[in-house]
Structure 1
Amino acid sequence: MLIKNMLNIAERHQVIINKLHQEGYVAVVDLCKELNVSPVTIRKDLKLLEEKGLLFKTHGGATQQNPYTVDRPVNEKEKIQSVEKLKIGTEAAKLISDNDSIVIASGTTVQALARAIHIKGNLMVVTGALNVAMELLKLDSNVEIIQLGGVLRKSSTSVTGNYAESALGDFFCSKLFLGVDGIDLEFGLTTTNSMEAQLNREMIKVSQKTIVLADSTKFGRRGFGRICGFEDVDQIITDSGVSEATVKALQSMGVKVTIV
């Protein structure tokens, strides 16, 4: 809604903060229209609010949380949003059928998927993540695991590098279950490690569908390594903490969003 009467700086800032609390993200172009001011004015407002610690500026807007992710050990990540990850993993497991062939990437959310798999028939799983492989070994089902080799990242207990990438060229799977460190509506999917991002891109190439498993804290964040844009994503499974505006934006790009 266009605000016709010119607001003073304090009033503009309150409108921006209120909108940010409601939607989790504000865009410069939208604020210009709503407040009837120039982009230069809005950028100055966002800079002042960032200096006060009230938001984080991003390309073309601002967000409530720090948009830049940091690499954390897998045992530390496992404790974060654990309930949400369990629900996401359980929902994702419903997409796996008997005699399926799938790729499971790295991360604690896809590890939750591995724990939740219950099938009666055979299953072929390609993975570069040791923690995922160890969970699959516990299953009673007839699961065949192809463990990719390469350079082991201690923080994620997963492999990266040319050896793992070249091995993927021998397979074609129905689904890729992908964990990410960041989902940004402009920048796409990211992880904290560029070599892992490259391996994830190769996984996308050999998979018929790409299904992203990510809790709501990953939205509006960016890691160092870009994996892909949303044109390569078929579905995202997340929790109810994701904003309605984000869900609508993803759906408009052709991405199916499942909320647990």
Structure 2
Amino acid sequence: MLAAQRQALIVAALDRDGVVRVSDLAEELGVSDMTVRRDLTTLQDEGMLVKVHGGARVMNQLSTAEPSFAVKSRRSLPQKEAIAAAAADLVRPGDAIAISAGTTTLALARHLTQVPYLTVVTNSVWVANVLADDGHESTTVLLTGGQRTPSHALVGPLAVAALRSFHLDRCFLGVHGIHPEKGFTTPNLLEAETNRTMIAAAGGLVVVTDSSKWDVVGLSSMATLEQAETVVTDSGLPGEAREVLEGAVGRLHVVETGTHTVDDSAGAGG
């Protein structure tokens, strides 16, 4: 296969998924990792993508850009599944928790279906449906009202008013981006306000996010890094990002994709 053909396929994969990994491309294209890295360097020089640790992401990282739920649900699936499994281990029978909208939090909900006596408050119709339809018979699911966003989050005054009435053990939060100074962000202003209220209603914050979100900044911040009791992410996280998070969050869980092996690192306050 000619270099131009490979690079066209890489761009097509980026258009479809928003992020690509070197290992996946090498397998798909039948070439070495080194060949893929050279192609990514060429495409970055041409302004077609941005190289990140282990792969590349699209250029359109505007603070207001938000992919559709369908697009996001196809990205980083093994990483999200491993992250969700690790995060589910933090939940105990009888807990009262909040779960934000998102594809990683939806994966988490699927892992919680057999945990008994849960009370789950969520602004995600998808999360609510999974737990209502497949959850343990003792589980109570409370869905906020509100206006629906592209990520299928219910947001706005109705959601905020509902969330203010709760006192919960933990909030499990999915994010659009993580940045050393900007913290955990989203491109949607109303979703940011709703998630800030959800965080305030909970005794602790657990952020579940794959490593491709590092150094991505959305329009509005939801929390600082220091507010996170725990961050659960995958081993694609760059070394410098790990150092930052270990120094800021309570505990960093780094999960090896496909193995669910967790590397626990206590950070500030942890």
The TM-score normalised by the length of structure 1 is 0.73
One-letter identity of the residue aligned with 2:100: A
The whole-number CA distance in structure 1 between the counterparts of 2:240 and 2:253 is 14
Question: Could you tell me which of 130, 155, 177 is aligned with 1:135?
Answer: 130
Structure 2 residue 92 is matched with structure 1 residue 97: yes
Shift of residue 168 of structure 1? Answer: 1.1
Aligned to 2:146: 150
Unaligned runs of at least 5 residues, structure 1: 1-49, 57-63
Separation in 1, partners of 2:173, 2:200: 13
Partner of 1:165: 160
Query: 1:257 is matched with which residue?
Result: 252
- Indicate if the aligned counterparts of 2:148 and 2:154 stay in contact, CA closer than 8 A: yes
Q: After superposition, give the CA deviation of every residue in 1:178-197 in whole Å (9 maximum; x if it has no partner).
A: 00000011111101101000
Q: Structure 2 stretches of 5 or more lacking a match? A: 1-43, 51-55, 256-270
Aligned to 1:190: 185
Q: Give the C-alpha shift of residue 118 in structure 1.
A: 4.7
Paired residues in the alignment total 203
2:206 corresponds to 1:211: yes
CA distance 1:55–1:138, change in 2 (3 Å): closer
Alignment of 1:19-168 (within 5 A): 53=47, 66=59, 67-68=61-62, 70-141=65-136, 142-153=138-149, 155-168=150-163
Q: Secondary structure at the match of 1:207?
A: coil
Shift of 1:119: 4.1
Deviations 1:51-86 (A, max 9, x none): 864987xxxxxxx75454621111221111111111
Equivalent position to 1:231, from 226, 233, 247: 226
Residue 92 of structure 1 aligns to which amino acid in structure 2? A
Aligned-partner SS, 1:157: coil
* Structure (1 or 2) with the larger CA radius of gyration: 1
2:113 touches 2:131 (CA, 8 Å); kept in 1?
A: no
Contact 2:114-2:135 at 8 Å conserved across structures: no
- Could you say which residue in structure 2 is the equivalent of 1:176? 171
RMSD, matched Cα:
2.0
Aligned residue number for residue 245 of structure 1 = 240
Distance 1:254 1:137 in 2: 32
% identical aligned pairs = 31
What SS does the aligned partner of 1:122 have?
A: coil
Aligned partner of 2:4 in structure 1 is: none
Q: Distance in 2 between matches of 1:214 and 1:80?
A: 12
Q: 1:246 to 1:126 in 2, by over 3 A?
A: same
Deviates more, 1:162-171 or 1:111-120: 111-120
Partner SS state of residue 106, structure 2: helix
Distance 1:54 1:152, change over 3 A: closer
Q: Confirm or deny: 8 A CA contact 2:177 2:215 kept in the other structure.
A: yes
- 1:93–1:118 contact (8 Å) kept in structure 2: no
